[in-house]
Structure 1
Amino acid sequence: MIRAHSAEQVRAAEAPLLAAGDPLMLRAARALAERTRRRLAGAPAAGPRVLVLAGSGANGGDGLHAAALLRREGIGADAILTAERHHTGGAAALEDAGGTLHALDDLTPEELAELLAGAELVLDAILGIGGRPAVPPPLRPLLEAVRCSAVPVLAVDLPSFVDATTGETAPEALRAAETVTFGALKAGALLPGGAERCGELHLVDLGLAPHLGETPSLLRLEDADVRVLFPHPPREATKYSRGVVALAAGSEQYPGAAVLAASGAARAGAGMVRCLAPQSVLDLVLRERPEVVGHPVQPTTLDPSSLHLEDTGRIGALVVGPGLPGTDPRARAGAALLCRGDRFSRGVLDAGALEAIGAEDRFGPDVVLTPHAGEAARLARRLGADPDRPPPLLAAALASLTGATVLLKGPITVIAPGDGGPLRSQEDGTAQLASAGTGDVLAGVLGTLLAAGLPGPDAAAVAAILHGRAGRLASRDGLVPLVALEVAGRLPDALATILAPAPQ
């Protein structure tokens, strides 16, 4: 499991080491220089090759000391000082090694372009974990010049102007090919905004682990975690013990959503899938998935206070919303059942069911809300929250207001547990998943995992991984378009690639 930390947690972990005189900066600089050497392997030998953008703080000091080390090994390295103040120790080390310090204010555009033309790598050491997602006007021409030069960027600890805790990023922030991060992964590097700027992440161990505490700011599951969490049926398993999922899904307007949700649930391993829908929708579902058990309902006459599930038999999780307009009585009835939590305490509220959530509704953490960005903003407005917060803060606010676990869909899935635990983030999919119906498949997968007994946050993270990997398989790793039913069909293959034992 990948553990990432907030800026505050990292600072607190560094404090006792710094107080004891541990040379953290020099250790970071050596690791940065080593990574830079690897990046430059095979580059032409002549001329200056590394240009450090050095800010005023410790991050700038890391970059300057690394440049000095590179100089002593025969690699050309110079620096642009981006502020009036600079790290004096790092600056002196670079000058002693024969490097040149250029004050940004003294450079003409032509001189800046000439420096970049002679560089094969730029080290972004302007700001570290103290960065904020706003670029001061005097620095904007510098960042634009670096972008236009097309010189690869290696970020020092974190790309500048990225919030280390939330991932919120200034539009002008440089996009790094690689980021060398020190001591601990920063949560912002695994969240929307920051993740898109970091490139390949390299973590340098500085001995912070004993001081970071037991609770990180953010978690990300890996394949090994899925192998532990995924529910494997024992020899004596029955369809009921594996988990029964009930779907209130599909309508005259969106009948296919029920097919997609049912397919996601079935292909993820549900023991049984029940579908509560109009007969015309059930006919469509059963043509594609004959193993589904149909329960005809008439949404126009349904009592909004109940889904009349008394006669449906066992149900482990209730999925409400795929293909339902917000006015469908099943939406409010399902939300009310999950809100009460007496018989149904595990389930998913998706699509139209999100519109049925009121300010007074409270759920448990094994109920998962699955909004995309637009749905999350509308729900936030209805609940009195700020809809314009960055994704991790928005998801956390919705989880706090509802008590449910919130899975905020996007290129990076953000999961806020309803019990107030650390955020989760998963980045397993492809842009090809941005097509109609893929969210319905995800809702079905999630329902299966909840019915099998996984806690809400774990079920949400595992569902995001399986859904994303299946999307990659269906699109040939993002190369070609996909349709939602293909994603459901590739779920077993995605699961097999994760669960298969590693070759000896």
Structure 2
Amino acid sequence: MIRGYPAGAVREAELPLLEAGQPLMRRAAAALAEQVRRRLDATRRAGGQAPRVLVLAGAGSNGGDGLHAAAMLREAGLDARAWALAENLHEEGAAALRAAGGTVTPLSALDAATTGEELARTDLLLDAILGLGGRPRVPEHLAPVLEAVRGSGLPVIAVDLPSFVDATTGQAAPAVLPAVVTVTFGAVKAGLLLGEGSHLAGDVVPVDLGLGPHLAATDRDVLRLEDADVATAWPRPGREDSKYSRGVVALLAGSAPYPGAAVLAASGAARAGAGMVRLLAPEAVRTLVLGRRPEVVGHPAPDEPAPDQGAAESVDIAGAGRSHALVIGPGLAPEDPRIAAGLAVLRGDVPAPQDLRAAVLDAGALGALAPGDRLDSGPAEVVLTPHRGEAERLAARLGLDPELPGPELARALATALGATVLLKGAVTVIAPRDGGPLLAQDDATSYLATAGTGDVLAGILGTLLAAGLPAPEAAAGAALLHGRAGRDASHGGRVPLVALEVAEHLPGVLAAILAGGPETTQGAR
């Protein structure tokens, strides 16, 4: 598991080592230079010329890391030089580069022609403008240089983190240089796992500087599951297991307007390994689902309340039989009686199915939540799965600020409702109901932004909850599997997909993870 730390925690952990005279900058620069050498080993220019590296150097320690690394690269036979993008550079680093025969060109000497010529002779860029103190705003005087660099198409290695990305929140300026690799020092920064920071960082390579004993885990950290975490936690059936002991998922899904949602949720649950999938739905929906998934067990349930009954009384969820997790809402309108019945179970107002321990509220069920609702006092641990629009609408109903950044919005909803919140997006953020560390998964492709993929995710999550995984880990694991299956279904994110293909690619993704195969998405290495 990757743990990302807020900027303040990293600074505090560095202080004892700096006060003890530890050469942290030299260690960081050496590791950075090694990463550059590895990338350029096979690169030689015409006539046998050494590859050329250009450092975009800012003031302070981040610039010093880049300048010292450039000096080391020159000593190793590479052509490294720097542009000074701040008035005051790290003096020792600049002196080391000059002593090694490198040049440091001031920003005032970089006109359009000079910039273009220099970039044309460059093979690799080091972004060492800003580090931990970076803010998501680019000064106007640097905009032309960054525009020229982006236009060059040159690969960029970010030093500690991409400049103008907030190290704690991942918020980024529009002009940030996307990195192919980020070499981050001492500890992974939380901002490399969140928001735009996760995308802009490329592959994250942590460098150990000995900060570990001084870094305390807190609820402000951000976690990310890796393949090994999923493989370790995955519920493998034993010889004595049955369909009931493996976990039963009950779906309250599918309606006349959206019958396919039940097919997709059932497929996600079944392909993720549920011992049994039940479906509470009207006859037309059950017929459609059983035609695609004959292993599903169907139970009659109306999508409109009986004339002589209230909505909740029209559906007997406990009477459907033993169920470990409920998935409520895919393809349902907020006024569907199955949602009212499900919420009544979760509040403890009516009997729950035998062995019920968890529930997922998705789609229409989110629209039925109201101010004053609490989901942490009933028989099940609840996970909400909104996308950004649903989260904003729910926040507005609850009197919360719908404009909060994603991680803060997820936390606010989790606190208000007493439920774990899985906020879907380019980076999926999971806020535990108890206020513990956020989890952030960046495993997906943009092609997952299509109708029905959220129903598949709800089914996968229901299966992991039914198997007994704690809600935050189940949510992060489901997001990883769903994202990875989407990438496979879209051939590495190159072509469109449809939702059912995501479910059908789950076994292949799981097989690779459980066999310890290579990861197929970017992330910290």
TM-score band w.r.t. shorter chain: over 0.9
Matched, 1:268 2:268: no
2:440 aligned counterpart, secondary structure:
strand
After superposition, what is the alpha-carbon deviation per residue over 1:240-264, rounded to whole angstroms, capped at 9, x for unaligned? 2221211111111101101111121
Equivalent in 425, 446, 450 of residue 465 of structure 2: 450
Matched, 1:379 2:400: no
Q: Which amino acid aligns with 1:50?
A: V
Shift of 1:25: 0.7
Paired with 1:407 and 1:150, the residues of 2 have a C-alpha distance of 35
Number of residue-to-residue matches in the alignment: 503
Alpha carbons of structure 1 residues 70 and 477: separation in structure 2 relative to 1, 3 Å: closer
Matched ranges for 1:434-473 at <5 A: 434-473=449-488
CA contact (8 A) 2:299 2:320 kept: yes
Shift of 1:502: 7.0
CA contact (8 A) 1:47 1:118 kept: no
Matched, 1:288 2:292: yes
After superposition, what is the alpha-carbon deviation per residue over 1:246-298, rounded to whole angstroms, capped at 9, x for unaligned? 11111111011011111211222222222111221111112222222222222
Range 316-325 or range 397-406, more displaced = 397-406
After superposition, what is the alpha-carbon deviation per residue over 1:40-65, rounded to whole angstroms, capped at 9, x for unaligned? 22232537822211111110111111
Matched ranges for 1:102-251 at <5 A: 102-215=105-218, 217-251=221-255
Aligned to 2:311: 304
Aligned to 1:420: 435
Q: Which amino acid aligns with 1:333?
A: A
Shift of 1:367: 1.0
Paired with 1:43 and 1:160, the residues of 2 have a C-alpha distance of 28
Shift of 1:501: 6.4
Paired with 1:196 and 1:429, the residues of 2 have a C-alpha distance of 11
Structure 2 regions of 5+ residues with no counterpart? Answer: 519-525
1:468 aligned counterpart, secondary structure:
helix
Q: Which amino acid aligns with 1:30?
A: A
Range 180-189 or range 250-259, more displaced = 180-189
Paired with 1:487 and 1:66, the residues of 2 have a C-alpha distance of 44
Paired with 2:161 and 2:512, the residues of 1 have a C-alpha distance of 32
After superposition, what is the alpha-carbon deviation per residue over 1:110-163, rounded to whole angstroms, capped at 9, x for unaligned? 222222222222111011111111111111111101111222211101000111
CA contact (8 A) 1:48 1:118 kept: no
Q: Which amino acid aligns with 1:202?
A: V
TM-score normalised to structure 1 length: 0.94
Aligned to 1:86: 89
CA contact (8 A) 1:370 1:443 kept: yes
Structure 1 regions of 5+ residues with no counterpart? Answer: none
Alpha carbons of structure 1 residues 300 and 133: separation in structure 2 relative to 1, 3 Å: same
Alpha carbons of structure 1 residues 89 and 339: separation in structure 2 relative to 1, 3 Å: farther
Paired with 1:140 and 1:172, the residues of 2 have a C-alpha distance of 7
Paired with 1:477 and 1:69, the residues of 2 have a C-alpha distance of 37
2:360 aligned counterpart, secondary structure:
strand
Aligned to 1:2: 2
Paired with 1:442 and 1:282, the residues of 2 have a C-alpha distance of 20
CA RMSD in angstroms, aligned pairs only: 2.1
Alpha carbons of structure 1 residues 124 and 112: separation in structure 2 relative to 1, 3 Å: same
CA contact (8 A) 1:338 1:346 kept: no
TM-score normalised to structure 2 length: 0.91
Aligned to 1:331: 339
Matched, 1:368 2:383: yes
Q: Identical aligned pairs, as a percentage?
A: 63
Matched, 1:358 2:370: yes
Runs of 4 or more off by more than 6 Å in structure 1?
A: none
CA contact (8 A) 1:366 1:457 kept: no
Matched, 1:317 2:325: yes
Q: Which amino acid aligns with 2:215?
A: L
